[in-house]
Amino acid sequence: MCGIVGYIGGKPAFPILLKGLKRLEYRGYDSAGVALLESTNLEVLKKKGKVSELEKLTETKTYSSTIGIGHTRWATHGEPSDKNAHPHYSSDQKLAIIHNGIIENYGALKTELSEKGYEFRSDTDTEVFITFIEDIKKTLDLTLEDAVRIALTKVVGAYAIVIMSTEEPDKLIAARKGSPMVIGLGKNEYYIASDASPIVEYTNEVIYMEDEQIAIITRNDLTIVDTKDVPQKAEIHKLDLKLESIEKGGYEHFMLKEIFEQPRSIADCMRGRLNATEGLLTLGGIRNYSEALTNAEKIVIVACGTSWHAGLVAEYIFEDLCRIPVEVEYASEFRYRNPVIREGDILIAISQSGETADTLAAIELAKSKGAIIFGVVNTVGSSISRITHEGAYLHAGPEIGVASTKAFTAQLTILAMIALRIASKKGTISESKYRELLVDLENIPAKVETALKSDDKVKEISSLFKDARNFLYLGRGYNFPVALEGALKLKEISYIHAEGYPAAEMKHGPIALIDENMPVVFIATRDSSYDKIVSNIQEVKSRKGKVIAIVTEGDVLIPKMADHTIEVPATHEALMPLVSVIPLQLLSYHIAVMRGANVDQPRNLAKSVTVE
Ligand code: AGP
């Protein structure tokens, strides 16, 4: 996924673009660049590396331009390099483009253009894209917007693009399909970006572009048409994003801020939805399909990464409380394996960004076969939130750190509320158990607050294991998906190989890995499989494994066995993942920091994978 930003108005564009790119850097950070129109001269500045490298390149320069475009890249076609950085420009250097997405038929287009004599400076699909537009514009003698519109009817793939031209220096053309784009409305000025974070400090009025829409933007006018040139009505939304929510707020990293935000983000997720004292649980976002959900014969959950782990926890909760069979699928597998989907089947799509390409594709497939789609999404106005039949926003606030933390616990909160709503309506749990679970859920923010108090102890343990080459994470029942999540957190930000496993599965092979150099993290809180996991700890200890155990506060047995223990407050086992994951988030964070890794922007990753 890449970050795109554009500006046209009365203010100097360059500072706005640079600041916007810094706010979007979590979306991709292997190279960055800007293009400015200095009168009719196209100035393109771009550099491999982070936005700070681009900033160094321009330290001694000032630009008067009040129109420009900027891009921060997560490479798809062509390695990270100066030449492959965006913006790209046409062969006659009159057009410049920034692009988030993939043009799948770029190869055929490149061959066709090469045969016409065009040459290419980079390895990217984007340069082919702008050259294709250049060729159409010249051959058919069209305006920029008409050339772009014709080109969009011929390219295959996903795009969020902004284009400008030296021949029409008071105009930006923007278009999207399958990649997000937001337009901020100012006074005789417009801001364009992949999401609202670069826009929020200038205006709270935004338009979320729809797929296959083209925006023609001048300082005084915004026109939106579709690829058939049919004018489109644009709905203006008020942003509820606050500037401080996209800043670090005194924390060293966004990830640490977001870990410590969880008591509030979980509370925000329940606000207006859960009132345990009154026994009230209202989820407006699923009202229209509540019957379908309650009477579902099967629920399929599709997601990727951490969101998939949330889906696994949901499987345990839905089957345990609602007695509805659940299948949890990697979206990337589901979309290609010709799954059995029947009219009326229920599909729940879980996604923090709401832009994950595989999850989007899985939804489209299920929708085409008549399934009812629920979204559990954090980013308001995101693509997934716009194509689902119903759903619930997490209200966790923007999650900037690439490693998902507060979105995960918010997803679990929403899924627990949906399960409780269904179980209560179906009568698969007693009224007293329902009320008890509502109280337990309402108390989770305070329990997470308590779990966060183990931060110093976790930091101390982290220093002992920061140089480990491998880790194992083991859990049972509701804590098995937590083991997977803890392993993913560690590997994606510290680059240490880590595996999550059901604890009982160790004896079927992986126990061969155990020796004095293998740290094993057990999520061993008091629940229905406690005695079994105690045995598993003994099996590891008897083979000299080093054991770090997450235990329920007051546990006196496991601290005698494990090398290190971290206590978390007791809660109902169905809600324990919300609490037991906290020390694992902190463990991965501290180890990564001690290893000098880039915690918020780990190598090779991006915050949302909007390509296949
Ligand atoms: C989690 O820490 C990772 N950043 C990644 O696995 C992420 O959960 C996955 O890409 C899914 O993203 P989404 O929730 O935005 O769809």
Average pLDDT of the chain, as a whole number: 93
69 and 162 together in one domain:
yes
181 and 156 together in one domain:
yes
Give, in order, the Cα–Cα distances in Å from 529 to each of 290, 475, 478, 523, 547: 33, 10, 10, 11, 18
276 and 337 together in one domain:
yes
Q: Which whole number is the average pLDDT over 166-183?
A: 93
From the CB of 396, is ligand 1 less than 6 Å away?
A: no
Q: Which whole number is the average pLDDT over 129-150?
A: 96
pLDDT confidence bin for 26, thresholds 50/70/90: confident
Residue 121, Cβ density class (10 Å: 0-12 exposed, 13-18 middle, ≥19 buried): exposed
Which pLDDT score, from 0 to 100, does residue 289 have? 84
Which pLDDT score, from 0 to 100, does residue 180 have? 87
From the CB of 609, is ligand 1 less than 6 Å away?
A: yes
- Residue ending a domain, among 244, 261, 287, is 244
Atom of ligand 1 nearest to the CA of 402: 4
For residue 188, pLDDT beyond 80 = yes
**What is the best residue among 309, 313, 332, 353 to mutate for testing ligand 1's pocket, by most ligand atoms within 8 Å of CB?**
353
Highest mean pLDDT among 246-255, 372-381, 431-440 belongs to 431-440
Catalytic residue among 2, 269, 304, 322: 2
CA–centroid distance, residue 139 to ligand 1 (Å): 43
421 and 486 together in one domain:
no
Q: What is the pLDDT of residues 257-268, one digit of tens each?
A: 999 999 999 999
213 and 295 together in one domain:
no
Q: What is the pLDDT of residues 494-525, one digit of tens each?
A: 999 999 999 999 999 999 999 999 999 999 99
12 and 138 together in one domain:
yes
Our answer to whether residue 532 is catalytic in this structure is no
2 or 589, higher pLDDT: 589
Q: How many residues does the chain have?
A: 612
CA–centroid distance, residue 600 to ligand 1 (Å): 13
427 and 457 together in one domain:
no
Q: What residues does 520 pair with on adjacent strands?
A: 472, 547
Give the CATH number, domain containing residue 78. 3.60.20.10
Which pLDDT score, from 0 to 100, does residue 76 have? 67
Residue-range definition of the domain harbouring residue 387? 249-442
From the CB of 383, is ligand 1 less than 6 Å away?
A: no
Our answer to whether residue 154 is catalytic in this structure is no
Q: With contact defined as beta carbons under 8 Å apart, do 173 and 96 qualify? A: no
255 and 237 together in one domain:
no
Query: What is the pTM assigned to this prediction?
Result: 0.80
From the CB of 404, is ligand 1 less than 6 Å away?
A: yes
Percent of the chain residues topping a pLDDT of 70: 100
Domain count, the chain: 3
CA–centroid distance, residue 498 to ligand 1 (Å): 17
- Residue ending a domain, among 244, 270, 295, is 244
348 and 471 together in one domain:
no
The 546-552 sheet, strands edge to edge? 497-502, 470-475, 519-523, 546-552, 564-568
CA–centroid distance, residue 402 to ligand 1 (Å): 8
Give the CATH number, domain containing residue 375. 3.40.50.10490
474 and 581 together in one domain:
yes
422 and 571 together in one domain:
no
CA–centroid distance, residue 459 to ligand 1 (Å): 25
Q: What is the pLDDT of residues 548-587, one digit of tens each?
A: 999 999 999 999 999 999 999 999 999 999 999 999 999 9
271 and 332 together in one domain:
yes
- Residue ending a domain, among 403, 419, 442, is 442
From the CB of 356, is ligand 1 less than 6 Å away?
A: yes
